[in-house]
């Protein structure tokens, strides 16, 4: 991935869009996005910095973190309990039914990594109550704070099914939200690119 101050006009970059990879040339550097010209298809794209890559060969290893952690499913549940204590003011807004679901929710890792979603909350299936959170295995070897944010996001879905303004407001109460959310996005994007290039 490319940092904001690490780009020049005319530089070649690579980014994913609709399941495909696009090569292009930087024609303008904006505050939150980069304007990229794809000469092959004569198209212009405005691309967020978090989706840009310079090195499309991926000769380097995947994103590696000094403070990575591999949690068991039991530890995921402990992490949820930790979140309930840290953000009790948020969870106090849950009604009695939502609080009951919060206290009994089951948490597990997905069977395989994903790149579209960090996690998923399933309240019911086939007419039965499931009350289950699945966290993408993509995050198994990532910083604890990233896993916490994914889990916090899914716990909030117990109250808010959609990503409403109220949901986003509660989500952004997470400590260092913007920084951790950016790391989470980069992990998902890198995994997607590697899948597209058959590197994993």
| DSSP secondary structure string for all residues of 135-171 | E-GGGTTEEHHHHHHHHHHHHHTTT-SS--HHHHHHH
**Residue 200, pLDDT above cutoff 50:** no
pLDDT band at 187 (very low <50, low <70, confident <90, very high): confident
Sorted by sequence, the CB contacts under 8 Å of residue 128 that are 6+ apart come out as none
If one compares 195 and 28, the residue with the highest pLDDT of the two is 28
**Residue 197, pLDDT above cutoff 80:** no
Q: Which CATH class is domain 1-56?
A: mainly beta
Q: Looking at domain 68-186, which of 3.10.180.10, 2.60.40.420, 3.30.70.520, 3.30.2010.10 is its CATH number?
A: 3.30.2010.10
Supply the pLDDT for residue 154: 96
- With tokens 């840009």, the residue in question is 52
Cα distance between the two ends of the chain: 18
**Residues 3-18: tens digit of each pLDDT:** 667 788 998 888 777 6
Q: Note whether 43 and 20 are within 8 A (CB).
A: no
pTM: 0.72
Domain segments of the chain as ranges:
1-56, 68-186
Q: Could you give the percent of the chain with pLDDT greater than 90?
A: 44
Q: Note whether 138 and 190 are within 8 A (CB).
A: no
Supply the pLDDT for residue 60: 45
């Amino acid at each position: 991935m490319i940092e904001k101050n690490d780009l020049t006009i005319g530089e070649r970059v690579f980014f994913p869009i609709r399941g495909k990879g696009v090569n292009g040339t930087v024609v303008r550097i904006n505050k939150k996005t980069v304007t990229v010209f794809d000469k092959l298809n004569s198209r212009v794209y405005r691309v967020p910095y978090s989706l840009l890559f310079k090195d499309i060969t991926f000769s380097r290893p995947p994103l590696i973190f000094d403070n990575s952690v591999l949690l068991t499913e039991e530890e995921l549940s402990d992490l949820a309990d930790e979140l309930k204590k840290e953000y009790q003011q948020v969870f106090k807004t849950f009604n009695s039914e939502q609080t009951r679901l919060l206290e009994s929710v089951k948490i597990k890792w997905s069977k395989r990594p994903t790149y579209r979603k960090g996690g998923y909350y399933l309240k019911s299936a086939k007419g039965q109550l499931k009350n289950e959170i699945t966290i993408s295995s993509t995050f198994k070897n990532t910083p604890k704070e990233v896993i916490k944010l994914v889990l916090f996001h899914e716990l909030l879905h117990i109250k808010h099914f959609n990503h409403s303004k109220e949901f986003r407001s509660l989500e952004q109460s997470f400590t260092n939200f913007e920084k951790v959310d950016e790391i989470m996005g980069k992990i998902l994007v890198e995994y997607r690119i590697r899948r597209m290039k058959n590197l994993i």
